[in-house]
Each structure stands twice: as structure tokens, then as C-alpha cells.
Amino acid sequence: MVFSSLTFLLVFLTVTMILYYISPRKLKNVIILISGLLFYAWGEPIYVLAMIASTAIDYTAGRIIDKFDDKPTVRRVCLIVSLVMNLGLLGVFKYSGFLINSLNDWFGWSIPNPNLPLPIGISFFTFQSMSYTIDLYRRKIKVQKNAASFMAFVTLFPQIVAGPIVRYEDIQNEIDDRVITEDMVAGGISRLITGLGKKVLIADNIGLVWTEIKAMELGSLSAATAWLGILAFTFQIYFDFSGYSDMAIGLGKMMGFNFPENFNYPYMSKSISEFWRRWHMTLGEWFKSYVYFPLGGSRKGKARTVINLLIVWTITGIWHGAAWNFMLWGAYFGILIVLEKLFLGKWLEKIPAFFSWLYTFVLVVFGWVMFDVVSAQTYHFGDVFGQVFGYIGAMFGANGVFADSTALNYFVNYGIIFAIAAFGCTDALKIIVKKIRDKAPQWVQYGYPIAQMCVMTASVAFLTTSTYHPFLYTIF
């Protein structure tokens, strides 16, 4: 799916929003449904059928769960059908190829690999749809009897391929009865522009550094070059994903929805546990509600808490991708969070804030090495270890060179964008804007919409002149 097709995106968005605003209230969900299917079908014309099938099964299961409220067995069977279907879709499309190739490699078998293309955003829309049947089974929400309204919930095009993960509980009061105000539209446009600027002006520009350094021979990297490369990815993935989330939240507001926040300045965190309360917040809440708490959470003693945390983080790693590096990444953060839960967290609270922040940031950066340094999918866990620790070794001078002309060139050419990205990861700009709005003269406050228009103009200009516009999380 080529998200840099600006013409399609602008025409699609313009036509959809015009039709949405002029349509009577009863037809707005139909417009959402049709636009969502068209948006998804543009990138996945065949796999849109998988989404429709998933939605239809969950809707039917929900109706039966509600109708047979006094029959626990029937309700349980319907829930199981929903879970098996959604997890089955994930298993077949996302993990079957990896499993087959791994078995062939380990045991010398020759099981044919169907090499099924991965439906875009399948991990997002399956989790979203599952949350409905699980919450209905728990009697936390009311059944949605209108099929179009339920499908509209699943196919909301602003967040259909990369989140935030919107549970039915989040918007159950808005799906059939929402009010669109001028403030919501204005706030939505502002948020949309902010997200677009994050994605296009920062993530895409700094991402070029990582793309180039990642392609270099590992043995040729100086320590400075290796650090610049992984720091570039550290900023790229944040501004890419949070930018997309901002755009989704902004478009949602323009349509009368209040989507949950997905990021809260995670790189300001002073512990790994805090980082994961600030990063991809909707995924964290999903796992907490549907995996961690049902396992017992922290209510059954330290030993059980440790086991539950490790289970959740193993699944979190697997959710991100069918590859050993993602599983290593999930286990890495699971172990760190367990250590903080047992004793490290209390120590971090006692040391100066700068050092607790530095501890957190450096360990997060190491995590991003595990997440993305593997140059190609491999089925040898040892090879993954070799690539990950080879890169970390280069960061600490294992290649015998601490700085070279390559690092200097990147620093000179990209130093400004690194500085902008570092500043943008903090809440400093938010605080400055708030103070200006609260205390500055009226004429000064006009600078904010002017600045946003400049961001919008620059983003569109960059979209039309550059071909590097990856959306990192659409592959999940």
C-alpha cells in the first residue's frame, strides 16, 4: 500500500468529509462504513473480505451473547468462536509462514510455505473487534443491534490500519449519537496538521539516516555512526507512530468521535514501567484488560505477578511480529519491568531525576536495536543475537573506531533535525504554547494558526517532492 499517493489521499479525504457532513445523521455511519472499506480495499482489495468476515462473525456472536443472556454455555461458545476466528486470522496470515520456515529450518522438513501477504493493520482491527465480544460477554457494554453501526466501528478509516486501538467501550455513546461542534472540528484540524507535520517533516527526514546506516556493513560502523543511526530510528518510530495517532485522533474529532490518546511524551519517562504507560497506551490498556488482569494481575503474590508480566510481554513481542527479534524485544522489556517491580523501581525513585531518565532512555534505545536492526527475517535465534549484540557492540566501539567522517557528515547534514526531534519529544512546546495562549496579547496568539498553516504547507510540499514516506506500524 503506497501511502505517499497524495492525490488519492486528498481526494478520498475531501470527498469523504463532504459526504459525511452533508449526510443526515442516520446515514453518517453508512458513510463511515463505505469509506472505511474503500480505504482498506485501496491497499488490500482481496483481504478486505477477511475484515468483513471477521466483523460479521463478531457482530453475530454479539447478538447471540445478548439474546441468550441467561444461558452461560451458549454465551461462552459464542465468545470462543469469536476469539478463535480473530486469533485464527492472525495465526494464518501473520505467523504461519514464520512457523513453517522455522520448522523446515530446524528439522530439515520441506513443508510448503504459502507466503501469504500480511493484511495491513490486521493486529489492530482484530484486537479492536475482539474487545467488543469480550466486553459484551463480561456485560460491560450494551449490544449493538445495528449491523451498519457495528461495522462502522470496526472500519473507522482514520485508525483502521495503525491505531490507536479503539475499543467499543471507548465510543459506545458516540457510535449512534454524536454531536459535531465547531470546537471539535477546529481542534481536529489542528491535531491533524500536528500529526502530519510529525510524520512528514520529522519522521520521514530523520528516518533516512537510519535507513542508510542500517544498510551499512556492521563491521564498518564507528561508535558515533552507530549511535546516530539508532537514535535516528528512536526518533523516527516515535514521530511516525505518534504522528499517525494524532492524525487519526484529529480526523476522529472532525467526525464527532473522541478516540483515546496513544502517546504521552514517552521519552520523558524515568523508568521502563513509566515508559510503557506513555507509549502506545491503547495497546498497553488492551493487554492489561484482556490478558494481565484475567491472569490475576498483581493480586496473587510476587511469584504469580512475575509470571503474569512475563506472559504479557512475551505476547506483546509476538503481537509486534513473527520474528525472533520481536520475541527477544518483548522478553527484554518484560524482564526489565519485572526487575523494577521487584526492587529497581524503588531505587530509581531515590536517585536524581536526570539519572533515572538516562537509565530509561538508554535501555529503550537498546530495545529499538532489537526491534529493527535485524536486516532480514531470520529463523536462527543465534543469528538474531549476533546482529543485535553486534550493533550494540559497535555503539561502544567494538569495531575500534569511535568517530569518523561518516558520523561527522551525518551530524552536519542532520544535526538540526536531530535537535528538533529531541525538543519535540518533550512537553516544552506544549507548555510554551499554553503560556502564550494564557498571557500573551491577542495579536501574538495569531502566530499559532499561522505556524500551523506553515506546517501544513511544508508537509504537502514535502509529500509532493519526496518518495520516502513509510508508515512503520501499518505492517503490524
Catalytic residues: 320
CA 136 to chain centre: 25
CA 272 to chain centre: 18
As a dihedral over the C-alpha atoms of residue 378, residue 373, residue 313, residue 154, rounded to 10 degrees, the angle is -90
- Would you state the cell numbers that stand for residue 304, as one nine-digit string? 504469580
- Would you state the cell numbers that stand for residue 253, as one nine-digit string? 474529532
Cβ neighbours of residue 314 closer than 8 Å, sequence gap 6 or more: 327, 330, 331, 334
Distances, alpha carbon 388 to alpha carbons 228, 324, 379, 382, in Å: 16, 11, 14, 10
Half-sphere exposure in the Cβ direction for 158 (13 Å, CA):
29
- To the nearest 10 degrees (0 to 180), the angle between helices 353-372 and 223-254 is 90
Answer yes or no: are the C-beta atoms of 250 and 195 closer than 8 Å. yes
3-class secondary structure, 428: helix
Instruction: Tell me how crowded residue 373 is: count the other CB atoms within 10 A of its CB.
Output: 22
Answer yes or no: are the C-beta atoms of 421 and 202 closer than 8 Å. yes
Nearest to residue 32, comparing CAs of 188, 260, 254? 254
- b/e sequence 238-277, b meaning 16+ C-beta within 10 Å: bbbbbbbbbbbbbbbbbbbbebbebbebbbbbbbbbbbbe
Distance between CA atoms of residues 20 and 31, nearest Å: 6
Instruction: Tell me how crowded residue 315 is: count the other CB atoms within 10 A of its CB.
Output: 16
Nearest to residue 447, comparing CAs of 429, 426, 473? 429
Answer yes or no: are the C-beta atoms of 358 and 348 closer than 8 Å. no
Max CA pair span of the chain:
74
Nearest to residue 290, comparing CAs of 74, 79, 88? 79
Distance between CA atoms of residues 374 and 384, nearest Å: 7
- Would you state the cell numbers that stand for residue 86, as one nine-digit string? 480473530
Instruction: Tell me how crowded residue 322 is: count the other CB atoms within 10 A of its CB.
Output: 21
